[in-house]
Structure 1
Amino acid sequence: MQNSQTKLAIAALGRDMGPPVLAALTAIFADEQQDLVKQQAALAKDLSYGEHERQVLDIYAPQKASGLKPVVVFVHGGGFLKGDKGSDQHWYNSNVGRFAAREGYVGVVMNYRLAPQFTWPSGGDDVAAVVNWLKTNIAQYGGDPTQIILLGTSAGAVHVATYHQHNSEESAIKGLILLSGLYGVTPLDERDTLYYGPQAEYAAKHPLAALVNTTAPLMMVCSEYDPPRFQAEFVGLAQARLTQQGQLPACMVLSGHNHYSIASHLGTADTRLADEILVFINKLCG
């Protein structure tokens, strides 16, 4: 569970975003996540899934595992303009791959091409390229190519949703987990237009309809201290799903966390979200 000291420290950061908040957040979890780094080394690093220098991925696998395991692919955030999969020296984002491996799955953490040089739908295309690479290659690293779960946070959730938007007729993946993403409920801000283009073009590009209508297993999460826009996206998608399908997908509002900690705390003693993710995956891959 989340201890009171951590809860108060995250609450003090409020709903703001930016480098100072991220730095403070990573300091909160540094000790626990550094321990996870020591326990769970990468099985393979910087494997190319495309021709661009950012089209690379790392693989984390359970120690002494037998048989092929479900594969959890993590797509990091960064506002479409930045972000990195992490490394042994920088645990942020790589913690999700390590967490997956510790829980008995094969964890894959990917980089993708960034705006403004690469615009919509490049992020979704890169997720598709990773899925295709995994179908051919992941078995040699202990992963089951028929049991792939996509997990994205913030811009990464957008890219996972875009992948599904453009590949919804395929059965290449088992399910989608979206953390604090943008789905088409609220208007673009100026930063987002560097990836999506003008607001006037957004309606034809966002993944809301695909997420509302899909029968693919879906889990969606936001945090207590997410900025209001991300909470509105969560609530809007949930309401649209309820209206369209008569029931909600797996949903969670994670108390005591903010936009950055929603993914970066995975692997720590606070297992509330981790437990829900494990239940979701095990239902699909059990």
Structure 2
Amino acid sequence: MSAAETGNAIAAMGTVLGPDVVAVCRDLFDAEQRTLAARIPPIATDCAYGPDARNRLDLYREGEAEDLRPVVLFVHGGGFLVGDKGGQGGSGPENWANAHVGRWAAANGMVGAVMNYRLAPQHMWPSGAEDVTLAVEWLRANVAGHGGDPDRIFLLGTSAGAVHVSAFLKARDDHADLVRGAALLSGLYGVTPLDERDMRYYGPQDCYALRMPLTAVMETRLPLFMACAEFDPPRFQTEWASMLQGRLGRHGRLPRAHYASGHNHYSMAMHLGTADCRLSNELLSFFAEHS
């Protein structure tokens, strides 16, 4: 499928969310992502970074690591309720979703780490921030043995994963000592009201102001990269635009930002590693700047 045909298919879906849209997006990138998956198998799978069965991560690296490489920890989306790191047990190329971000990092000279985390409603706030913290601590203690530099860890989260990365910034006052930067794709930070799905993770509406990571994202001095997609639902676009404006007012400058034209809430992260390099180039430039 050509780039134009892919763009037309994404535009035709509009800004709706749901498993049917996920399936269509996955089909759009399946051929390219299977090729990447066949080329870069994991170098370690199901590494236990914490005590829960979901506290597992996989590592990806291409070639031998003569020098320690920057590390990108990817935190998947799923509305707090679903999602998986993919690539379990080194399974075949068809199981590429989410694992592909680790492979993309590896293909670009880094070590990619892709984590699972505990899911709502069994595990509510602040389990996401706790799991990101545990994963970062595990990487700092262990990633050098896999060719990664524990002093050059970057976080990359999409949707609920971006929220959990943001909550890590809120939970850890020393976050800037633990990671070099954070890239947030289509997250919800506390600008717009909770919806019913959010409450299955955060609890009742009256917990909203206390538990959302808005202040931490607004105030942190950690280098940030913030993105949204042209066909993100309006709520996500409002969050992105408001955070850019808020940080401009507070810090006197915008954070590094990207508007993913021709993409939707799912395709923005899902297309990393394909021929569409616009977001990839921006992320790689951000990582290189702060490595």
Output the amino acid matched with 1:28. L
- 2:26 aligned with 1:34, yes or no? no
Give distance in 1, aligned partners of 2:121 and 2:156: 23
Partner of 2:257: 251
- 2:171 aligned with 1:166, yes or no? yes
Partner of 1:136: 141
Partner of 2:212: 206
Which runs of 5 or more structure 2 residues have no equivalent in the other structure?
A: none
- Displacement after TM superposition at 1:169 (Å): 2.7
Aligned residues of 1:179 and 1:220 also touching (Cα < 8 A):
yes
Give distance in 2, aligned partners of 1:129 and 1:235: 30
Output the amino acid matched with 1:192. D
Partner of 2:150: 145
Aligned residues of 1:85 and 1:110 also touching (Cα < 8 A):
yes
Which runs of 5 or more structure 1 residues have no equivalent in the other structure?
A: none
- 2:105 aligned with 1:95, yes or no? no
* CA deviations over 1:131-167 (Å, ceiling 9, x no partner): 1101111000000000000000000000000001111
Give distance in 2, aligned partners of 1:242 and 1:230: 18
- Displacement after TM superposition at 1:246 (Å): 1.2
Give distance in 2, aligned partners of 1:261 and 1:221: 13
Partner of 2:248: 242
Aligned residues of 1:168 and 1:214 also touching (Cα < 8 A):
no
Q: Name the % identity.
A: 52
Give distance in 2, aligned partners of 1:186 and 1:168: 25
Output the amino acid matched with 1:225. F
* CA deviations over 1:11-53 (Å, ceiling 9, x no partner): 1111111111110110000000000001111001111111111
Give distance in 2, aligned partners of 1:203 and 1:233: 15
| Matched residues, number | 284
Partner of 1:25: 25
Output the amino acid matched with 2:46. D
- Displacement after TM superposition at 1:199 (Å): 1.0
- Displacement after TM superposition at 1:64 (Å): 2.7
Partner of 2:14: 14
Output the amino acid matched with 2:140. K
- Displacement after TM superposition at 1:62 (Å): 2.2
Give distance in 2, aligned partners of 1:30 and 1:91: 8
Moved more, 81-90 or 121-130: 81-90
Give distance in 2, aligned partners of 1:28 and 1:172: 36
Partner of 1:263: 269
Output the amino acid matched with 1:141. H
- Displacement after TM superposition at 1:105 (Å): 0.2
CA RMSD of aligned residues (A): 0.9
Give distance in 1, aligned partners of 2:124 and 2:158: 18
Equivalent residues in 2 for 1:168-183, closer than 5 Å: 168-170=173-175, 171-183=177-189
Aligned residues of 1:14 and 1:225 also touching (Cα < 8 A):
yes
Give distance in 2, aligned partners of 1:168 and 1:175: 14
Output the amino acid matched with 2:108. E
- Displacement after TM superposition at 1:65 (Å): 3.0
- Determine helix, strand or coil for the equivalent of 1:43: strand
Partner of 1:81: 81
TM-score, length-normalised on structure 2?
Answer: 0.96
TM-score, length-normalised on structure 1?
Answer: 0.98
Give distance in 2, aligned partners of 1:262 and 1:10: 11
Q: Decide which of 123, 137, 143 is 2:128's aligned counterpart.
A: 123
Give distance in 2, aligned partners of 1:51 and 1:209: 30
Output the amino acid matched with 2:240. F
